[in-house]
Amino acid sequence: MNPNLDRLHPYPFEKLAKLKAGISVPEHLAPISLGIGEPKHPSPAFVKQVIADNLDKLANYPTTRGTDELRQAISQWATRRFDLKPGSLSASDHVVPVNGTREGIFSLVQAVVDASKHGTVVSPNPFYQVYEGAAFLSGATPVYLPCDGSNGFIPDFDQVPDDVWQNCQILFLCSPGNPSGAVIPRETLIKVIELADRYNFIVASDECYSELYPDESQPPEGLLQTCAAIGRDDFSRCVVFHSLSKRSNLPGLRSGFVAGDADILKGYLKYRTYHGCAMPIHNQLASITAWQDEDHVRENRAAYRAKFEAVVPILREVMSVDYPDAGFYLWPETPMDDETFARELSAQQNVHVLPGRYLSRTVDGHNPGENRVRMALVAPLEECIEAAKRIAEFVKANKA
């Protein structure tokens, strides 16, 4: 077996299951899960219809690079959304469809890391666990940059030592952040691009929450958008990941894309031809219709906005919690340690959240996820309100 498998940590939900093993939940209270970031809003009917109308495509092998039509739809969407120079993000050279961001992130790391060197993969902390797992299995070493309230939940890149950058092969960004929802501003993205040029590493920006934001007039900035703003129309050293899972409530479609630097994507596509991960044709056709429609995405944002506006005031009566810049998570501080909070909340109120430390690593004695929990407002509005009321009751009943 690959010895790097032994370096992998249990996934957060494995830890959560172990934490809650043996507890008895109150049977008179219906369970409400805020722990897993799985969208629960209805999938668009028109997307489902495309799949139903094209089931005959099951008889055809898909190509790894995807159809011209899908890549064109992605290119046109990204160009509109991020105000790119027309033609700069070409469908032929700058876009690769992937089966969701997790698969795309994992495979990109395997394709680009040079394991013969003492390479590192640098990421925010807390982080999406696939950044770390992909690093380990590529033979690289993860390096974690703390994100907490002191830095607005965005890494302080000025405090990173030179030797970290010298060994860095990939820097992961997550904007809007998971779990904080923090959006990285343009001036910070420019700084990151300058660091990539100076130390010759790839900037990989996970932007799968970019279409869930509260203000219709202020969508989050993306890495390619920053590139365009500074005239970097070749997107050198920069790649981004996007998905239909959160944007379009289609997590089961497993459809997303990687876009950016054509030289990086050329080698990445070569890797993928051996990886065996082509997107089924009927999924590609459904994805085209999803990328071409914005009405259902605006409705999606409105539904999340209503939940935040209803839930946050209830929780603020008993906890320190802020509205996120974007995304569908809350990242509140807990009045007791986060594991105890999650376990006892399940036991007393049948409401389920994820301890913050399960999304983080302890570095130099500090775990930036401790004494926080992640709450995903993915349940229906009424359930989210009920969950907030139960959490408030729980906190009041357990005050020291």
10-residue stretch averages of pLDDT, the chain, 400 residues long: 91 89 92 93 97 95 96 98 98 97 96 92 96 96 95 95 96 98 98 98 98 97 98 98 97 97 97 93 98 98 98 97 97 96 97 97 95 97 98 91
pLDDT digits (tens, 9 = 90+) for 130-160: 999 999 999 999 999 999 999 999 999 999 9
**Model pLDDT, residue 134:** 96
Same domain, 206 and 252: yes
Q: Confirm whether 53 is domain-assigned.
A: no
Q: Confirm whether 257 is domain-assigned.
A: yes
Same domain, 30 and 170: no
Which CATH number fits the domain that encloses residue 37? 3.90.1150.10
Same domain, 121 and 14: no
Q: Confirm whether 144 is domain-assigned.
A: yes
Residues paired with 352 in a beta bridge: 33
Residues sharing a CB contact under 8 Å with residue 204, sequence separation 6 or more, in sequence order: 105, 108, 170, 171, 172, 173, 239, 240, 241
What is d(CA 98, CA 372) in angstroms, rounded to the nearest whole number?
Answer: 32
Residues sharing a CB contact under 8 Å with residue 8, sequence separation 6 or more, in sequence order: 133, 136, 137
pLDDT digits (tens, 9 = 90+) for 155-182: 999 999 999 999 999 999 999 999 999 9
**Model pLDDT, residue 198:** 98
Cβ atoms within 10 Å of 123's Cβ, excluding its own = 27
Same domain, 127 and 271: yes
Looking at 293, 315, 348, the residue that finishes a domain is 293
**Model pLDDT, residue 118:** 85
Q: Can you give the residue range of the structural domain that contains 366?
A: 3-42+296-397
Q: Confirm whether 54 is domain-assigned.
A: no
What does DSSP say about strands 256-260 and 329-330: parallel, antiparallel, or unpaired? Answer: unpaired
Using CA atoms, how far residue 361 sits from 59, 124, 242, in Å, is 45, 10, 25
**Model pLDDT, residue 400:** 61
Same domain, 324 and 377: yes
Same domain, 289 and 302: no
Q: Confirm whether 135 is domain-assigned.
A: yes
Same domain, 103 and 151: yes
3-class state of residue 351 by DSSP:
strand
Q: Confirm whether 52 is domain-assigned.
A: no
Looking at 260, 293, 326, the residue that finishes a domain is 293
**Model pLDDT, residue 399:** 82
Q: What is the pTM of this model?
A: 0.96
User: Is the separation of the CB atoms in 240 and 258 below 8 Å?
Assistant: yes
Q: Confirm whether 233 is domain-assigned.
A: yes
Same domain, 153 and 190: yes
Same domain, 198 and 301: no
Looking at 293, 310, 336, the residue that finishes a domain is 293
- Domain tally for the chain? 2
